[in-house]
Structure formats: structure tokens, C-alpha cells
């Protein structure tokens, strides 16, 4: 399911991503506990969700250890992620009770709606390009062109859906010899993948726009990595808490 929050943020719970509707390149990949939290919030907008319900549905039901500290940390991380889209007051804390998500408007959209829109576009193109009185050869060329267009659109959709997976696989497969230690930013150790000569201060400025580094973590900067099967390159920040139970969070960096 896809949720559009305040006409500004697109949350794709299947991919686990937050995306700026007006700037598709501004995308954040959420860790699984954060996704489960946000899914509960958007489905219960403007309702007080008790702490116990969140602990049970986000951790206990998945066989994970549930603690108030974990809940507080992930709520803070989710707030930081939403703040990057200029939505800083969406989650309200009710001390010793729970939390309330307070979006002005949330629109639901099925994950396969993109495919439906593509089918509609193709149908419209077919109506415009294939005239009832056209020759057999013209209809054949038009059908061939429509099939090619459909395949191209499908390929684009598949690439968009699989991009987070390729990024996570790239993170796991980078050889240690390609990692350069660039020092620290607050409580984060900074490492560069395929070091491009960027000075530590420049990288700190980039990191500060995405993470506060209030807790101990490693941050890996992937410079201009070409994804397998894609012609384009991407620069990515991987924020990895030292807590082994917490997954890494990926943020796309504009070139």
C-alpha cells in the first residue's frame, strides 16, 4: 500500500521508502521497525496509539525484544526522517501513554496503481493512434509501437521498485579494502567507499543534513556507485547504528 501524507510525502510500505512527491530523487529508505511504526500511524491517523500496542505489533509479534528505549529511539529516528520533508510535528508524544500521528490528510493508493495508470495511458494512446479506417499495415505498426512503449514503461517501474534492493546488496558486497576512514562527526565514525578526495569537513556538512549522530553509529558514504544493471550512478549515505539489533538506514544524496 502507498500512502500520500499531506500531499507532500509518499510512503511506500512495500518498499519501505519515504519520497518527496515534488522531488522523487529525495528518497529515504526506512528500517523495518520504523516501517512498521509508520504503517500503524498512517492507518490510525489522529488516534492515540498506546505504547504497549506499538511494542507488541512492532517487536513482540516478530519475535524481537521490545523495550521502551527501543520504541523511543525509533520514534526519534522516524521524526528525523519526516523532518527532512519539512514535516516536523506529525508525531505527538503523550507521556506514559503513547503517541498520535496528526497528518492533515492521508490518501491511500494501491501499490499496483502505477501499473493501472500505465495501462490507461496505453489505452488512450491506442485510441488516438489506431484509426478504424487505417490500413492493416498501419494498425500493425501502431500495435508494435504500443507494445514497445508498454515494455519500456514496465522496465522503468521494475527498476524503481528494485533500486533499494540493489543499493542494500551493494552495501553488503563492498570490499573492505575500498573503505577509507575519514574521522568522526559527533558520535559517528565516517567511512568513504571508493574515496573521491572529498574533505572530511565537506562530508560532515552532508551528513549533518541527514543525521544528528547523537548515538554511536558508523556512516558509510558511497560515492558515485554504478548499480548493477543500471546505466546511472548514485551517491548514498548508509547510517548503521552500533546496536546489532538495528538495521542500517540509507539516504540518497544529490550530486
DSSP string, 51-89: HHHHHHHHTGGGT----HHHHHHHHHHHHHHHHTTT--S
pLDDT of residue 131: 47
Q: How many whole angstroms separate alpha carbon 6 and alpha carbon 77?
A: 20
For residues 83 and 110, give the distance between their C-alpha atoms in angstroms, rounded to a whole number: 25
Cell of 74: 525509533
pLDDT band at 254 (very low <50, low <70, confident <90, very high): low
Question: What pLDDT sits at residue 30?
Answer: 92
Residue 219: all three cell numbers together: 556512516
Q: How long, in residues, is the chain?
A: 255
* pTM of the complete model: 0.47
Would the pLDDT of 63 be above 80?
Answer: yes
pLDDT of residue 115: 43
Over residues 5-32, the mean pLDDT reads: 90
Q: Work out the pLDDT band at 51, boundaries 50, 70, 90.
A: very high
What's the rounded Cα separation, in Å, for the pair 196 and 181?
13
Residue 119 has pLDDT above 60, yes or no: no
Q: Is the pLDDT of residue 58 over 70?
A: yes
Of 40-54, 181-195, 231-245, where does the model show the most confidence?
A: 40-54
Distances from the Cα of 174 to the Cα of 20, 94, 222, 233, angstroms? 29, 43, 10, 15
Cell of 93: 508524544
Report the pLDDT averaged over residues 245-250. Answer: 71
Cα–Cα nearest to 253, from 213, 211, 215: 211
User: End-to-end alpha-carbon separation of the chain, Å?
Assistant: 30
Cell 494498425 -> residue: 139
27: Cβ contacts below 8 Å, ≥ 6 apart: 17, 18, 19, 20, 252
Give the pLDDT score at 155. Answer: 63
Mean pLDDT, the chain, whole residue set: 76
Mean of pLDDT values over 165-179 = 49
* Structure confidence at residue 171 (pLDDT): 45
Q: What confidence category does residue 152 fall into, taking pLDDT thresholds of 50, 70 and 90? A: low
Cell of 37: 511504526
3-class DSSP assignment, residue 135 = coil
Dist CA 192 CA 18 (whole Å) = 24
| 191-198: average pLDDT | 67
Q: What pLDDT is stored for residue 11 in this prediction? A: 94
Q: How confident is the model at residue 207 (pLDDT cuts 50, 70, 90)?
A: confident
Amino acid at each position: 500500500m502507498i500512502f500520500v501524507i499531506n500531499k507532500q510525502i509518499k510512503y511506500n510500505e512495500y518498499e519501505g521508502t519515504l519520497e518527496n512527491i515534488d522531488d522523487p530523487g529525495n528518497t529515504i529508505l526506512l528500517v523495518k521497525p520504523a516501517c512498521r511504526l509508520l504503517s500503524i500511524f498512517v492507518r490510525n491517523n489522529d488516534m492515540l496509539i498506546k505504547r504497549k500496542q506499538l511494542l507488541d505489533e512492532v517487536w513482540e509479534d516478530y519475535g524481537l525484544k521490545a523495550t521502551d528505549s527501543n520504541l523511543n529511539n525509533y520514534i526519534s529516528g522516524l521524526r528525523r526522517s519526516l523532518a527532512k520533508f519539512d514535516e516536523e510535528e506529525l508525531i505527538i508524544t503523550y507521556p506514559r501513554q503513547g503517541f498520535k500521528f496528526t497528518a492533515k490528510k492521508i490518501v491511500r493508493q494501491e501499490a499496483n496503481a502505477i501499473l493501472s495508470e500505465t495501462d490507461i495511458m496505453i489505452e488512450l494512446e491506442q485510441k488516438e493512434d489506431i484509426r478504424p479506417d487505417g490500413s492493416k499495415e498501419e494498425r500493425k505498426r501502431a500495435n508494435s509501437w504500443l507494445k514497445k512503449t508498454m515494455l519500456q514503461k514496465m522496465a522503468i517501474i521494475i527498476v524503481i521498485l528494485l533500486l533499494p534492493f540493489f543499493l542494500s546488496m551493494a552495501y553488503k558486497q563492498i570490499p573492505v579494502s575500498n573503505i577509507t576512514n575519514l574521522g568522526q562527526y559527533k558520535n559517528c565514525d565516517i567511512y568513504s567507499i571508493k574515496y573521491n578526495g572529498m574533505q572530511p569537513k565537506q562530508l560532515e556538512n552532508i551528513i549533518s543534513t541527514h543525521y544528528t549522530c547523537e548515538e554511536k553509529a558508523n556512516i558509510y558514504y558511497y560515492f558515485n556507485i554504478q548499480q548493477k544493471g543500471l546505466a546511472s550512478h548514485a551517491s548514498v549515505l548508509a547510517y548503521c547504528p552500533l546496536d546489532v539489533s538495528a538495521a542500517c538506514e540509507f539516504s540518497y544524496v544529490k550530486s
